[in-house]
């Protein structure tokens, strides 16, 4: 039967994910320590005795391997350690306060990109070559070519400063969650639209769809039953890389909109050599991405008709 | 690959001709732009600090009075160069990887492509950012890092092509004559997958340009007085209101470049797909590369 | 101005809006005062703090022995008065009656003793512990060589505190303004340890106490009901929120979108627009500070004083501040800022020459040092990344090109930049020094014994001798006279090129009363009220 095999395959995936997670954590840990400078370089001079005190307080005086072991041990207990720079918070607290913001913005953006992208793509794909198709795809092409580093600041200027419709930054109310997800989602929406369009147009020419239409089944039903399940497969497999790319985008978006998410910590903490905070953000990112990809894998296995046919 | 499909893709219809013309204009600007302007990219015009576009400065000047036309041209040159080098790196990694996986097949193929699958889902640009932060802003690191991010797509494509080539008679013949896998891949597989690989490689160019602009926006890109489109946009966004031209021109240049390469790349790919009869994936490429078909999920 | 009209035309064309450029509406008066701060604080523990933006918040949370008035003059704080012994070594402070912590517990001289010992204990790992090194035995205690009870601080009774110094230090009242001199609540720290800085445990003695801290979003302060007992002016505004607005553009946007009442900076390029369109919001205040170029005097080419002088002469400060930066910064021909009180700074020797004379002399010096068209001087100039610093350093490179010097620019993040400087890994670099109103604070950077913050490794024995002489003098006027002589000797050797003193450009809601510009840019919220 198919069930055990799927189960085993998923277990194997899980194992690969865990190994990947470990590789990422290890690579970033040593990468950071290779960097010149340390967390206590500041503009004001530190007398050597003070710097020694600081280093001892954070176990930075131990051999690197011991520090690595200590970190893995802490990680296993779910403890991301103290932040070197945000001295009044543990990394767990910082992540706990930042992750909901990042996930809300990212989740809304993903939703918007998927819903908007598929909607647009299906409309265009149903009538390949039509004026509607060309217009939508032309706009989508532009969406891909205008990076969020241009769209986001201009959006703030227009909608927050000039028009005063929406807030310029922060997360005090639902209105604060409008501009950032939109700015983040646009290129992905465009990408998904183009992907869906091509896939739908192609599926329409396949024999089983033509047969269904020839039998006089209603177009809406053919679309739902025969076209979309096949046509959306590439979209589903795009979600993994899209989520990864969105994380990258969120670093910029959180900066432009001054959102208190974890993306903002990433660059700042790396520049400040706040080892534990960078590690914390990387751990959360990696865990999120790997879990998301497992889910996508699962969805894919469910959706793929070849697998379903093979199982029956 | 013969020249005809390329010509058809580049000049086939009005849109294609427009894109080709725009791209040619950008390249011309990047190559010859500095020659057209009396200013060098570093000259300061004390009489025109942060001045709007005029007859003397076609794109205006930046915050210290440097000619933005010249700087935009220099920036386009740097961005295109970074893109070209990163693409080359991605070819150097992706093509052998895909060819080896496709040719060797079986378990090796599964493992190699599984690795690609895993890497696909990682936010690599963030790792590049980390590298840049950690080791300083070395442009070579940037090229190499970006190239290492963008080879994944190429590996997939090349693998697919290799699978097809492997069945061909001349490969069978070579194998029968005792040639080893390395020789066959070098002599027979690579030349046959070169065309499609080249086309897909062009599609990584816009992605690299956008990734570079991201990194520059975060202040981690190319160093002054050198510049790139990303650096110009990041600076322009800082003076968006007092000097909007400093944002508009570089942003337009970037958008035009990315858009026209995307469009032309799509067409080239469609031509290739039509010729080789493979199932098309008429979706987009560009900054966020798509996976053509999932490899590992088949029963 | 045509260029301004053109600018607005551009915005209009590009964004499709009318010709009036936006000024937005500042946030109206309310119960909560929302203030933009320069970034996210790293800690609110006054003994572990490190940043100016933390000082801003801590000033509202705590009260030291001395404090600011609304114009940032030094006035008695928790101490109502003090006496200094003849030799300048023993300082006796009388605390105000009725001092209390925000939980109602009485605050005594013993709390101050505890605080100074905690600051200097090695375990606290306070990065600014050395601020209190003027106290007797402080350095030894901090190094763990002496027990904390040997520190020169003791309580004579609940309301009398005696501080003993290592050497005379007439600037002690100013030094006590810093958070390193603030008391901390022993009764809470001994109960909950490091968690005392959490809002739920927070106890302080300032006009406000910490109510909430959402990382990267806001630090919320509420009025401390027990502050009035100190007899100092109690705050009028109930609640404060400090928002971390690190980007000038973002701060400017949010101010105009009506989301904050005051911001610390906006993009320099917007100064003309702000002056024209929203002058009632604009607050420009010169800051006690010096921005300068420092030469690495350890190695060629800058071990040659002629080269240093030539590069200093080629810099045109006025052109830099007025034409290039246009941010209102004040050119400074002397290393000690003009705003330092009771002191007459010594300008660079060539300061009164006109531009052509300076350039001519600079070229002659370079030729003398062996550089010319056939052997051009080629150097690397380092600076901290940022829009304004980039502008500044590009201009300096252009000045030097005029005397035939080729300059490569190297920008780095703040941390990396200063780490490189402290290791002496640079040729010439831009640096800045902020803070105190005493000449030693600045001149100390040139003492050969200063260590790595004397970035360029400058060493000039006659200068050192004068500085050492000054350190033993308790009388301020006498001391400053000797310091002035030291400055004259120092600047003649060109260890650095003083450039300008920073002018802070703030936007402050006109609804807010009591905001006074001052050279420390300190604006304790207890002096603010709604109009």
Q: Among C386, C393, C445, C388, which Cα is nearest to C421's? A: C445
Cross-chain residue pair B126–A32, CB shorter than 8 Å: no
In this prediction, residue C359 carries a pLDDT of 95
**Three-state SS letters, C382-394:** EEECCHHHHHHHH
Name the band, by pLDDT with cuts 50, 70 and 90, for residue A35.
confident
- Is the CB of A178 inside 8 Å of chain C's CB atoms? no
Within 8 A by CB and 6+ apart from B21, the residues are: none
- Is the CB of C14 inside 8 Å of chain B's CB atoms? yes
What is the CB neighbour count within 10 angstroms for residue C56?
20
Cross-chain residue pair A245–B121, CB shorter than 8 Å: no
How many inter-chain contacts (A to C, CB under 8 Å) are there? 142
- Minimum-distance CB partner of C418 among A43, A259, A272: A43
In this prediction, residue B110 carries a pLDDT of 85
Q: Distance between CA atoms of A104 and A108, rounded to whole angstroms?
A: 6
| A176 CA: distance to closest CA in chain B (Å) | 21
Q: Which two tokens stand for residue C242?
A: 């400090």
From chain C, the residues in CB contact with B244 under 8 A are 7, 10-11, 14-15
**Interface with C, mutate which of A163, A170, A178 (most C CBs under 10 A):** A170
Residue with tokens 């002589």: C485
Q: Among C35, C245, C507, which Cα is nearest to A168's? A: C245
- Mean of all residue pLDDT scores within chain A: 82
Q: Distance between CA atoms of A147 and B118, rounded to whole angstroms?
A: 26
Instruction: Classify strands C503-508 and C262-263 as parallel, antiparallel or unpaired.
Output: antiparallel
From chain A, the residues in CB contact with C143 under 8 A are 47, 49
- Is the CB of A293 inside 8 Å of chain B's CB atoms? yes
Residues 95-124 of B with CB under 8 A from A: 114, 118, 120-124
Residues 205-244 of B with CB under 8 A from A: 206, 210, 213-214, 217-218, 220, 230, 233-234, 237, 240-241
In this prediction, residue B244 carries a pLDDT of 85
Mean pLDDT across the stretch A41-60?
Answer: 67
| B236 CA: distance to closest CA in chain C (Å) | 10
Grouping H, G, I as helix, E, B as strand and the rest as coil, residue C161 is strand
- Is the CB of B244 inside 8 Å of chain C's CB atoms? yes
| B175 CA: distance to closest CA in chain A (Å) | 33
Instruction: Classify strands C160-164 and C90-95 as parallel, antiparallel or unpaired.
Output: antiparallel
Residue with tokens 């070819």: B91
- Is the CB of B251 inside 8 Å of chain A's CB atoms? yes
pLDDT in tens, A265-303: 888 888 778 888 989 988 888 888 888 888 887 777 776
What's the complex ipTM?
0.78
Least confident of B1-15, C9-23, C123-137, C412-426: C9-23
Query: Distances in Å between the alpha carbon of C305 and those of A15, A158, C369, C408, C458?
Result: 66, 54, 9, 21, 11
The chains in contact with chain C, meaning 3 or more Cβ pairs closer than 8 Å, are A, B
Q: Among C14, C163, C337, C290, which Cα is nearest to B242's? A: C14
Name the band, by pLDDT with cuts 50, 70 and 90, for residue B287.
very low
Residues 264-303 of A with CB under 8 A from C: 264-265, 271-273
What region, left, alpha or beta, does residue B20 occupy, with left being phi > 0 and alpha being psi -120 to 50 degrees?
Answer: alpha
What are the structural domains, with CATH classification, of chain C?
3-42+198-286+504-530 (3.40.190.10), 62-189 (3.90.76.10), 289-501 (3.10.105.10)
Mean pLDDT across the stretch C500-504?
Answer: 94
| C51 CA: distance to closest CA in chain A (Å) | 9
Cross-chain residue pair A271–C259, CB shorter than 8 Å: no
Grouping H, G, I as helix, E, B as strand and the rest as coil, residue B70 is helix
Cross-chain residue pair A88–C45, CB shorter than 8 Å: yes
Name the band, by pLDDT with cuts 50, 70 and 90, for residue B2.
low
From chain A, the residues in CB contact with C290 under 8 A are none
Q: Are C83 and C93 in contact (CB under 8 A)?
A: no
From chain A, the residues in CB contact with C246 under 8 A are 258
Mean pLDDT across the stretch B265-273?
Answer: 75
Percent of chain A residues past pLDDT 70, beyond the cut: 91
From chain B, the residues in CB contact with A36 under 8 A are 136
| B255 CA: distance to closest CA in chain A (Å) | 5
Cross-chain residue pair C273–B46, CB shorter than 8 Å: no
Cross-chain residue pair C125–A37, CB shorter than 8 Å: no
From chain C, the residues in CB contact with A171 under 8 A are 217
Percent of chain C residues past pLDDT 90, beyond the cut: 65
Within 8 A by CB and 6+ apart from B81, the residues are: none
pLDDT in tens, C330-374: 999 999 999 998 899 999 998 889 999 999 999 999 999 999 888
Q: Which residues pair with C157 in a beta bridge?
A: C160
- For residue B135, pLDDT over 50 is answered with yes
Cross-chain residue pair B288–A307, CB shorter than 8 Å: no
In this prediction, residue A305 carries a pLDDT of 52
In this prediction, residue C483 carries a pLDDT of 95
- Mean of all residue pLDDT scores within chain B: 78
How many inter-chain contacts (A to B, CB under 8 Å) are there? 184
∠ CA(C241), CA(C243), CA(C245), 5° rounding? 160
Within 8 A by CB and 6+ apart from C299, the residues are: none
From chain B, the residues in CB contact with C409 under 8 A are 223-225
What is the CB neighbour count within 10 angstroms for residue C401?
16
Percent of chain C residues past pLDDT 70, beyond the cut: 94
Which range scores top for mean pLDDT: A221-230, A231-240, A302-311, C252-261?
C252-261
In this prediction, residue C421 carries a pLDDT of 87
Q: Which option is the CATH number for A99-264: 1.10.3720.10, 3.40.30.10, 1.10.150.120, 3.90.1150.10?
A: 1.10.3720.10
**Interface with B, mutate which of A144, A246, A257 (most B CBs under 10 A):** A144
C81 phi, psi to nearest 5 deg: -175, 170
Which range scores top for mean pLDDT: B95-104, B132-141, C152-161, C430-439?
C152-161
| B200 CA: distance to closest CA in chain A (Å) | 16
Within 8 A by CB and 6+ apart from A305, the residues are: A229, A230
Cross-chain residue pair C269–B225, CB shorter than 8 Å: no
Q: Among B46, B34, B79, which Cα is nearest to B205's? A: B79
Q: Are C144 and C138 in contact (CB under 8 A)?
A: no
pLDDT in tens, C188-221: 999 998 899 999 999 999 999 999 999 888 999 9
pTM here is: 0.82
Name the band, by pLDDT with cuts 50, 70 and 90, for residue B273.
low
Domain limits, chain A: 99-264
Cross-chain residue pair A164–C245, CB shorter than 8 Å: no
Rounded to 10 degrees, the C-alpha dihedral C165/C169/C172/C174 comes to -160
Q: Distance between CA atoms of C301 and C366, rounded to whole angstroms?
A: 11
pLDDT in tens, B156-200: 888 888 887 877 777 778 888 888 888 888 888 887 787 778 777
Q: Distance between CA atoms of B286 and B208, rounded to whole angstroms?
A: 9
Cross-chain residue pair B239–C267, CB shorter than 8 Å: yes
Q: What is the largest CA-CA distance in chain C?
A: 76
Cross-chain residue pair A270–B118, CB shorter than 8 Å: no
- Is the CB of B238 inside 8 Å of chain C's CB atoms? yes
Cross-chain residue pair A188–B288, CB shorter than 8 Å: yes
| C497 CA: distance to closest CA in chain B (Å) | 21
Q: Distance between CA atoms of C117 and A223, rounded to whole angstroms?
A: 76
- For residue C13, pLDDT over 70 is answered with no
Nearest residue of B to residue A235 by CA position? B290
Residues 100-119 of A with CB under 8 A from B: none
pLDDT in tens, C232-244: 889 999 999 999 9
- Is the CB of C385 inside 8 Å of chain B's CB atoms? yes
Mean pLDDT across the stretch B5-30?
Answer: 83
Name the band, by pLDDT with cuts 50, 70 and 90, for residue A49.
low
Residues 13-72 of B with CB under 8 A from A: none
Q: Which two tokens stand for residue B225?
A: 């007085």
Name the band, by pLDDT with cuts 50, 70 and 90, for residue B275.
low
In this prediction, residue C7 carries a pLDDT of 52
- Is the CB of A141 inside 8 Å of chain B's CB atoms? yes
Cross-chain residue pair B121–A35, CB shorter than 8 Å: no
∠ CA(A205), CA(A208), CA(A209), 5° rounding? 50
């Amino acid at each position: 039967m198919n069930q055990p095999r799927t189960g085993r395959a998923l277990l194997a995936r899980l194992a690969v994910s865990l190994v990947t997670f470990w590789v990422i954590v290890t690579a970033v840990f040593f990468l950071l320590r290779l960097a010149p400078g340390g967390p206590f370089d500041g503009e004001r001079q530190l007398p050597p005795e003070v710097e020694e005190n600081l280093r001892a307080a954070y176990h930075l005086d131990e051999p690197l391997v011991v520090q690595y072991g200590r970190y893995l041990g802490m990680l296993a207990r779910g403890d991301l350690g103290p932040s070197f720079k945000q001295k009044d918070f543990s990394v767990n607290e910082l992540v706990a306060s930042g992750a909901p913001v990042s996930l809300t913005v990212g989740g809304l953006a993903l939703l918007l990109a998927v819903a908007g992208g598929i909607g647009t793509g299906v409309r265009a794909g149903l009538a390949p070559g039509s004026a509607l198709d060309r217009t939508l795809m032309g706009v989508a092409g532009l969406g891909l070519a205008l990076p969020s580093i241009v769209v986001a600041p201009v959006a703030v200027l227009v909608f927050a400063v000039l028009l005063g419709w929406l807030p310029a930054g922060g997360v005090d109310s639902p209105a604060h969650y409008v501009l950032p997800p939109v700015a983040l989602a646009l290129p992905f929406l465009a990408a998904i639209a183009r992907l869906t369009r091509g896939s739908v147009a192609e599926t329409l020419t396949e024999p089983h769809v033509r047969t269904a239409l020839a039998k006089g089944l209603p177009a809406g039903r053919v679309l739902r039953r025969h076209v979309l399940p096949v046509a959306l497969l590439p979209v589903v497999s795009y979600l993994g890389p899209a989520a990864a790319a969105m994380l990258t985008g969120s670093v910029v978006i959180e900066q432009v909109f001054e959102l208190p998410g974890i993306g903002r910590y990433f660059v700042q903490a790396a520049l400040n050599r706040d080892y534990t905070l960078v590690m914390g953000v990387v751990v959360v990112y990696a865990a999120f991405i790997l879990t998301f990809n497992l889910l996508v894998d699962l969805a894919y296995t469910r959706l793929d008709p070849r697998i379903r046919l093979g199982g029956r | 690959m013969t020249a005809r499909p390329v010509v058809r893709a580049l000049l086939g219809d009005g849109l294609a001709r427009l894109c080709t013309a725009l791209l040619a204009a950008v390249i011309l600007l990047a190559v010859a732009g500095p020659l057209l302007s009396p200013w060098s990219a570093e000259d300061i015009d004390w009489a025109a600090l942060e001045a709007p576009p005029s007859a003397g400065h076609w794109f205006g000047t930046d915050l210290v009075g440097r000619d933005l036309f010249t700087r935009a041209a220099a920036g386009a040159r740097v961005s295109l160069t970074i893109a070209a080098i990163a693409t080359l790196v991605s070819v150097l990694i992706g093509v052998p990887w895909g060819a080896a996986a496709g040719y060797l097949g079986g378990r090796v193929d599964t493992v190699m492509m599984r690795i690609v699958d895993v890497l696909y889902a990682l936010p690599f640009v963030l790792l590049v950012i980390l590298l840049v932060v950690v080791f300083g802003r070395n442009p070579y690191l940037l090229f190499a890092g970006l190239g290492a991010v963008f080879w994944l797509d190429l590996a997939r494509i090349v693998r697919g092509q290799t699978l097809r080539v492997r069945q061909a008679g001349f490969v069978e013949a070579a194998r029968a004559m005792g040639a080893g896998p390395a020789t066959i891949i070098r002599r027979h597989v690579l030349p046959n997958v070169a065309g499609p690989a080249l086309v897909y490689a062009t599609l990584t160019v816009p992605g690299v340009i956008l990734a570079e602009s991201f990194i520059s926006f975060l202040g981690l890109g190319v160093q002054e007085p050198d510049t790139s489109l990303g650096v110009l946009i990041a600076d322009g966004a800082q003076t968006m209101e007092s000097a909007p031209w400093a944002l508009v021109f570089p942003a337009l240049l970037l958008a035009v470049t990315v858009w026209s390469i995307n469009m032309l790349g799509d067409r080239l790919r469609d031509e290739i797909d039509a010729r080789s009869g493979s199932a098309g994936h008429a979706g987009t490429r560009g900054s966020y590369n798509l996976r053509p078909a999932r490899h590992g999920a088949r029963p | 101005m045509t260029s301004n009209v053109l600018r607005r035309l551009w915005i209009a064309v590009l964004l499709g809006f009318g010709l009036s450029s936006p000024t937005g509406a500042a946030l109206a008066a309310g119960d909560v005062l929302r203030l933009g701060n320069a970034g996210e604080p790293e800690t609110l523990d006054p003994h572990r703090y490190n940043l100016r933006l933390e000082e801003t918040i801590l000033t509202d949370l705590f009260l030291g022995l001395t404090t600011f008035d609304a114009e940032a003059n030094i006035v008695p704080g928790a101490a109502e008065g003090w006496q200094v012994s003849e030799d300048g070594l023993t300082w006796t402070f009388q605390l105000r009656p009725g001092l209390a912590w925000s939980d109602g517990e009485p605050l005594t001289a013993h709390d101050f003793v505890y605080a100074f010992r905690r600051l200097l204990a090695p375990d606290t790992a306070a990065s600014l512990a050395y601020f209190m090194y003027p106290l007797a035995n402080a350095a030894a205690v901090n190094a763990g060589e002496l027990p904390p009870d040997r520190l020169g601080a003791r309580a004579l009774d609940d309301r009398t505190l005696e501080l003993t110094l290592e050497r005379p230090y007439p600037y002690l009242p100013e030094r006590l303004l810093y958070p390193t001199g603030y008391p901390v609540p022993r009764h809470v720290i001994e109960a909950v340890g490091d968690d005392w800085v959490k809002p739920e445990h927070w106890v302080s003695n300032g006009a406000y106490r910490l109510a909430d801290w959402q990382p990267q979003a806001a630090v919320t302060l509420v009025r401390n009901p027990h502050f009035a007992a100190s007899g100092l002016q109690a705050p009028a505004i109930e609640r404060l929120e400090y928002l971390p607005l690190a980007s000038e553009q973002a701060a400017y946007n949010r101010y105009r979108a009506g989301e904050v009442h005051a911001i610390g900076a906006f993009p320099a390029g917007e100064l003309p627009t702000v002056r024209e369109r929203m002058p009632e919001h604009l607050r420009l205040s010169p800051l006690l500070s010096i921005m300068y170029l420092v030469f690495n005097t350890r190695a060629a080419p800058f071990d040659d004083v002629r080269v240093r002088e030539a590069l200093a002469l080629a810099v045109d400060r006025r052109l830099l501040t007025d034409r290039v930066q246009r941010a209102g910064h004040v050119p400074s021909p002397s290393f000690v800022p003009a705003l330092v009180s009771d002191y007459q700074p010594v300008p660079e020797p060539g300061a009164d020459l006109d531009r052509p004379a300076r350039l001519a002399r600079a070229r002659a010096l370079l030729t003398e040092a062996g550089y010319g068209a056939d052997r051009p001087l080629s150097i690397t100039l380092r600076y901290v990344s940022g829009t304004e610093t980039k502008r500044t350093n590009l201009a300096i490179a252009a000045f030097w090109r005029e005397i035939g010097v080729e300059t490569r620019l190297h920008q780095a993040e703040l941390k990396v930049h200063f780490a490189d400087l402290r290791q002496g890994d640079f040729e010439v670099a831009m640096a800045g020094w902020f803070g105190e109103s005493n000449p030693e604070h600045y001149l100390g950077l040139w003492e050969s014994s200063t260590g790595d913050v004397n970035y360029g490794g400058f060493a000039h024995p006659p200068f050192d001798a004068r500085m050492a002489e000054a350190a033993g003098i308790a009388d301020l006027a006498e001391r400053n006279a000797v310091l002035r002589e030291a400055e004259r000797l120092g600047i003649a050797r060109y260890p650095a090129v003083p450039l300008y003193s920073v002018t802070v450009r703030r936007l402050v809601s006109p609804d807010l009363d009591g905001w006074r510009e001052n050279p420390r840019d300190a604006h304790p919220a207890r002096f603010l009220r709604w109009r």
